[in-house]
Chains A and B, each alone.
Chain A
Amino acid sequence: MTTMTTTPLWCDRCGEAATAAAHPACASARQLEPPRFCPDCRRRMKVQVLPVGWSAVCVEHGEIRG
């Protein structure tokens, strides 16, 4: 599993810049959604939701799980 950056460059829900503005609506929605965009490179990730947990894979930055 690859470790992504601790300071995200991109919002993992909407894919817009994470550094320019806060994303309160995305942060709220993310409580009931897995990430969709890689926070490092903005690529759409391959996401598999399971009954318990999820996994998201960026082709460049690897897999994260939640």
Chain B
Amino acid sequence: MPEILDQARTQVLGDGVGLDQAGVLAVLNLPDEHLPAALQLAHDVRMRWCGPEVEVEGIVSLKTGGCPEDCHFCSQSGLFTSPVRSVWLDIPSLVEAAKQTAATGATEFCIVAAVRGPDARLMKQMREGVAAIKAAVDIQVAASLGMLTKEQVDDLVDMGVHRYNHNLETCRSYFPNVVTTHSWEERWETLRMVRDSGMEVCCGGILGLGETVEQRAEFAAQLAELNPHEVPLNFLNPRPGTPLGDRPVVEGKDALRAIAAFRLAMPRTILRYAGGREITLGDLGTRDGLLGGINAVIVGNYLTTLGRPANADLELLNELKMPVKALSATL
């Protein structure tokens, strides 16, 4: 057994204290023959500190495309030659999407907008949309609307939004290679205000943007410092027309190593499978990740791409004897 896994067994599984950056790097550098042991340990950590339940979420794009920011992975930036056009979702369709999500057994519904930060029109749409959802559907509402002012944070709390997603995307040292229209620190400031407001913080990122393994470890350590309630883990799905459109997808074993490493860095967080798992891991890898530290999934489609059918994921969870977290458990 590699020394880092012995250390993690005592420190993370035994005491609930996550690995530091050097420890995460050691896990990310484990040779293939030790990957099953790393995944098993990460699974044991998840079961001990989070339990067997899996949190299921659906997401929808309220405002698609036409974003003024230049996040190099994103097909919704208006600065690239992506074929994605700008479109707004009306409120009846938003409520229908929430109903579709709730019908899968999901307890979370995240409303997302491709913006630098919300303007008055978007905040009005959010207020009306969240109220309509709460009147019609029994589901928790989360939001992801970019960078916020303090007033906007307070407005979202007032609407009843219980969790706010704002991904740091990658580590601080690599961020300028991925985004130039705003800074990592600006994102951190929004996260700080969200945390102070009492809303749950959801913050993760994307692996496979061209970062080194060392920078992947740096990112895990920075997320651990933030200590978010939830970490969505995406794997780059290269989008046509974006600056990262020709990048290779992350190797499946590297993705699984990252899942184990991020779990060992953050033993108590909700670690969610997000975009890109279908092309990076496929069906078999998806199962391996659920048995290697993941304890939440996005079911159904993503914002601009499609996912596995929700039933396929729910059947897999049933087969793995992982109960879907009930709504009452999140209230």
Contact = CB atoms under 8 A, between A and B. Distances in A.
A34 B304 CA distance: 8
A40 B92 CA distance: 30
B87 interface: yes
18 contacts: A32-B279, A32-B305, A34-B304, A34-B306, A47-B87, A48-B61, A48-B87, A49-B61, A49-B303, A49-B305, A50-B60, A50-B96, A51-B59, A51-B100, A51-B101, A51-B104, A52-B301, A53-B301
Nearest to A32: B306
Contact of A51 (B60, B84, B85, B240): B60
B247 to A, nearest CB: 15
Interface of B: 58-61, 64, 83-87, 89, 93, 96-97, 100-101, 104, 240, 278-279, 299-307, 310
Given A32-B305, A32-B306, A51 B87 contact: no
Nearest to B89: A48
A33 interface: yes
A8 interface: no
Given A51-B299, A52-B300, 17 more contacts: A33-B306, A34-B304, A36-B83, A44-B85, A45-B85, A46-B85, A47-B85, A49-B61, A49-B302, A49-B303, A49-B306, A51-B60, A51-B101, A51-B301, A51-B310, A52-B310, A54-B306
A49 B301 contact: yes
Interface in A29-66: 31-34, 36-37, 44-54
Contacts of B87: 46-48
A9 interface: no
Contacts of B60: 49-51
Contacts of A47: 64, 84-85, 87, 304
Contacts of B86: 46
Contacts of A33: 304-306
A14 interface: yes
Nearest to A53: B301
B81 to A, nearest CB: 11
Contacts of B84: 36, 47
**Which among A44, A51, A53 has the greatest number of chain B C-beta atoms within 10 A?**
A51
A57 B87 CA distance: 10
A45 B304 CA distance: 13
B240 A32 contact: no
Nearest to B106: A51
A53 B59 CA distance: 12
Contacts of A36: 83-84
A43 to B, nearest CB: 10
- Top 8 closest pairs, chain A to chain B, by CB: A36-B83, A51-B300, A51-B58, A52-B100, A46-B87, A32-B306, A51-B100, A51-B101
Contacts of A45: 85
B223 to A, nearest CB: 26
A36 B299 CA distance: 22
B303 A14 contact: no
Contacts of A48: 61, 64, 87, 89, 93
Contacts of B59: 51
Nearest to A12: B83
Contacts of A53: 301
Contacts of A54: 301, 306
